[in-house]
Amino acid sequence: MTLPDEARGAAPARGRLEGRRIIVLGAGQQTYGLADPPVGHGRAISVLAAREGASVFCVDLDADAAAETAAVITGEGGSAWAAAADASEEAAVVRVLDEATAMLGGLDGLVHNVGIAQGNGLTGTTVEQWDRVFAVNVRSHFLACRHALPRMSAGAAIVLVSSQAAYWPVGAWPAYNASKAALQGLLLQVAKEGAALGVRVNAVAPGLMDTALGVHSASDFPQRTSTPVPLGRMGTAWEVAYPVVSLLSSESSYVTAQTLLVDGGLTALRQPTSL
């Protein structure tokens, strides 16, 4: 199957984020031991935003990964900076938001692409794992939105990266699945408060994606590769990045409080089998 240029990250830029100042939390990429890993969501979103004209402040728990993403952007002639932070820690979130706002001269967009999965079923998930997953998958989003909104002016936008797990249980990760469902409630509250400021707040929910994490997950859940996705294949990180860029841009100026499923139709049209 021949993928369109957008799905391969090879389409020409269209200037949709010209002049925008964006911070991406979770902008790095992990290899999971793969020699040639597919691009991940954070890197694809950051690079595409820069290609579309944005200045991008790349943040990741892994300082090297954030720096590598920034280097890709600057290597293509874009503007990017990098910083390391644990997005689940309030002081760290405030620090990088302060740094980004100062470096960029303001803040027009926030992308929150941070999430983990731990545990194995109810009996195989410890209280510590549950709390850590919620700290990363929900508290970090709360902290970022809480402290980013006052820094944003009318016309700015926030995009959270959720998952199809917000709609149906994926794998054997009760904490992950519950945290993604909780993110839906947080999204609506942030969108309500953001609307009063003229700031739009939306989310994208990827499905089965051909990323390094996706390939790694297939080793634990081999049925992943045989799941009957209606469009007949897994998606690419670029196919998440494009909707994110659209939601950040003025072309989505009347869209807020929405979650866009980017899953090839799997959630709405899935067969009665479990993943």
- Which residues are designated catalytic? 176
Q: How many whole angstroms separate alpha carbon 211 and alpha carbon 41?
A: 8
Show Cβ contacts of residue 18 under 8 Å, excluding neighbours closer than 6 positions: 52, 53, 54
Hey, which residues does 110 pair with through a beta bridge?
23, 158
Q: Give me the amino acid identity at 219.
A: S
* Beta carbons of 78 and 50 less than 8 angstroms apart: yes
* Beta carbons of 244 and 201 less than 8 angstroms apart: no
Q: How many CB atoms lie under 10 A from the CB of residue 64?
A: 11
- Cα angle for residues 137, 138, 140 (degrees, 5° grid): 85
**What is the four-CA torsion angle of 150, 152, 155, 161, rounded to 10 degrees?**
-90
Report which secondary-structure segment, H or E, holds 111.
strand 107-112
